[in-house]
Structure 1
């Protein structure tokens, strides 16, 4: 798999007990600066002064992935690792897919399903359907008489595929 620039994911953590007491103890952590999960966990401990409880208060991601306040460190790191291994041109597609399946709560399932579900980026579902048809029924498409065009029942295609606002097409099943 072609590796490209790492995804920029930065997360801000607060020490929860200090935050509730009106003191702000926390800071940003850039996941790209961490070699592994243990270093990430250690940096969270440093910025929260080894808090027993902390919250993820904010995040920045150039991949469009979003996290909730109580997202676990393991989930944040799992997202980072997967996006790092994913080719850059598929990162937005994964973000669209993850949002559609329910967000980071379903990250593990989305990671395992994504490679089989993603079909590429298209201007419309109709464009995808015509290209798909030309590939599957190549003999039919070669023999279309001049002056005729192939039309696709997009409503039927929507039963098996969906397209994101960014034009990424996914298989439903």
Structure 2
């Protein structure tokens, strides 16, 4: 284990982030700062998704009643999303982790 990985592991243990160590490692690599990653991880972490588009559709199903009604009434239909807009607010990293931009 590298010195950086050991340091990140120590920070994660101190913060009680045991279960998400792989996701935290991906987030730290993305933001480039271990301390910031540990401090903001819980607010930024959105789970594991095959791609950002799947995450976006799921978020819309959970939060947008009109979108949900349209999807439920038109089985098999999946609208095109403005993924550039989603990429401004979210990042999909190696390991299939999605993080909210903070």
Give the TM-score normalised by the residue count of structure 2.
Answer: 0.79
Moved over 2 A (4+): 142-151
Distance across 2 between alignment mates of 1:150 and 1:83: 42
**Equivalent residue for 2:3, pick from 57, 67, 74:** 67
1:120 aligns with 2:47: yes
Unmatched tracts of structure 1, length 5 or more: 1-59, 61-65, 69-74
Q: List per-residue Cα deviations over 1:75-127 (Å, max 9, x = no partner).
A: 83x73252472242x2111000011111xxx3222111111000000000000
- 2: CA distance between counterparts of 1:132 and 1:95? 24
| Matched residue SS, 1:108 | helix
Corresponding residue to 1:136 among 29, 47, 63: 63
For 1:143, what is the secondary structure of its paired residue?
helix
Give the number of the structure whose residues are more often helix, by fraction: 2
Q: CA deviation at 1:146?
A: 2.4
Unmatched tracts of structure 2, length 5 or more: none
Partner of 1:152: 81
Query: Given the alignment of the two structures, is residue 80 of structure 1 paired with residue 10 of structure 2, yes or no?
Result: yes
Higher share of residues assigned strand: 1
How far residue 67 of structure 1 moved from its aligned partner, in angstroms, is 2.6
1:96 paired residue number: 26
- RMSD (CA atoms): 2.3
Question: Structure 2 CA distance, aligned partners of 1:158 and 1:80?
Answer: 31
Cα deviations by residue, 1:128-170 (Å, 9 ceiling, x for unpaired): 0000111110343123332532322212100110100211000
Partner of 2:36: 109
SS, match of residue 158 in structure 1: helix
The structure number with the bigger radius of gyration is: 1
Q: Indicate if the aligned counterparts of 2:48 and 2:98 stay in contact, CA closer than 8 A.
A: yes
The count of residues paired between Structure 1 and Structure 2 equals 98
